Structure 1
Amino acid sequence: MSEVLGGVRTYTGVERAAVLMMLVGDEEAAAILQKLDPEEVRQLGKAMFAVADVSEAEVEDVLDDFVGHAKQRTAIGFDPRPKIEGMMTKALGPDKADSVLARITPPEAACQLDMLDWLDGPEIAALIEEEHPQVAALIIANLDPGVAAQVLEILPEAIQPDILHRIAKLGPITPEAVETLNAMLSARAGKGGGTSTAAVQLGGTKEAAKIMQSARKATEARVMPKLHKIDKDVAKAIEEAMFVFDNLLDLDEKSLGTLIRNVDSDTLVRSLKGVDDAVRNRFLGCMSSRAADGIRDEMESRGPMRLSEVLDAQKAVIAIARGLAKDGTIVMGAGDDDYV
């Protein structure tokens, strides 16, 4: 936030950039904006409104600062691709130039569905609500998990389990498919489409799990049982990815104590074998001193244990925790939206 020093405001970095943007022509400003990420455009646009009343002295201060920083630079970066492509085309002709450029142009980063960065959850949901569930799955899988969960919840409840299942089963997406999706989104939003040159990896059970973790608990409680009916293995894989043993540390003292009382000692001993001291002490701290000492003695007497045995025991504890949470006996990470 800008401050007033000696009668002249001092601006933050983004506000200085906003002042400079207000000084250049519309075409130059547009060219600069095209190089920025969506969030940068939003921040810069907001700052431009904030500095609309900039004084002449403040403009001079900003320009002096800009010139000073510019002098410190040894070079100014730019995208060389258009210039090189133009030179090659003029020298060799289109066909030969394309052949040479195909061999010398550095590979681009994996493409994304660029239009999605400029839209919020409800807008994305409106664009895809009448599309085939596979198309919706491809698009939602490309979103940040929080936005993806929002879009999924806006779509009709009847298709949510199917879309989540399709997200979990996604894999490599061809460049042609990505380009088609980009064109579809751009056409729906009334904007020019971009181009795609690389395949991308989308979805998977971990991505589906992240979306469910970001969704409201009511959504999870409604969608996951239906997904079990569609594909039990996929649903189980998503649930396992959603919740790992360390997540149990988020339980409050009362809930963790209740969980421990519902786990037999043999399973508890095996589940705590190999975890770090902080995790073990968190569990044992919810037990009586006598019971905790008994668990410690049992762990020491058993000696080395196979990792597979430990993981199976931890999965069993997690399953018990989820069952207790489902019954309302304990509370596991409920989102804010579930409370009124």
Structure 2
Amino acid sequence: MQLKTGPQKAAALLLTLGDDKAAVLFARMHEDEIRDLSTAMATLGKVPADQIEALCHEFADSLGNTGNIVGSWEVTERMLLKTLPRDRVSQIMEEIRGPAGRTMWDKLGNVNETVLANYLKNEYPQTVAVVLSKVKPDHAARVLSLLPEATAMEVVMRMLRMENVQKEALEGVERTLKMEFMSNLARAQRRDAHEMMAEIFNNLDRSAETRILTALEDRSREAAERIRALMFTFDDLQRLDSAGIQVLLRAVEKDKLALAMKGASERLRDLFLKNMSERAAKLLKDDIAALGPVRLRDVDEAQAIVVATAKDLAAQGEIQLSDGRDEEMLT
């Protein structure tokens, strides 16, 4: 690591001084200075001893025996805990672990548009308007296109009527984003690897899922079983109660539902038909019969859309999804 910037040099010096002496210096700093130094320290990496000697001539003798130092997330967190409350340290660490950017609006500009849209769709239109007015236009456009149509139109109208946002209101939005969205995002980025792989497997087509999971079983049966337990597949929809199925039926496009049901098990198909009116059930059966032969890939894609819709509804609290595969639904 080549020390180039002021924060990098200051971070190296603090690491060299050790926890206790660094704590004394941290106690005399402003929060912005602590955040800047923490970011530099956490990303510093390995610094050769000769650079440390060149950085601090007055401590050359003692530093000469220090050898290399390593800046890491763990070391940074340990140092901060010497002087700051644990909740404040957690907030700082989550901020610097989050998407890169100096300000909150810089950070939001580096958040995937789908992730940001999924969060904003549950916020007040005025809040969404403020956020989209602060990020770059191309990013705002992608987020806006992913919002529900009614919400997007309301946000557009708010943005058209928006004047200068009062400083207090802007700070309130920033605080909310820091405490709720960015903190949750940072925690999500550190989620269990098996959960991440389960989500990836949920998006594989059936043949690829079977092939890769079978190969994984040969390498690590325990890992394969954990991933299977965490996956939520189309067949798991039979765990929904009647009210949940009816909500899902209203949310899924009829052509996608027919295609998905074309490849459904008899038990799952019957469960959906029982929760439809007699006329709607007859129409669905007719639609399925009219499809004729279909490609397995098309069926898989339709079933993935139904599952994704169910997950969105669950995230909004409109239906309840079961996590495991050990429970049986009572019908």
TM-score range normalised by the length of the shorter chain = 0.3 to 0.5
Structure possessing the higher radius of gyration over alpha carbons: 1
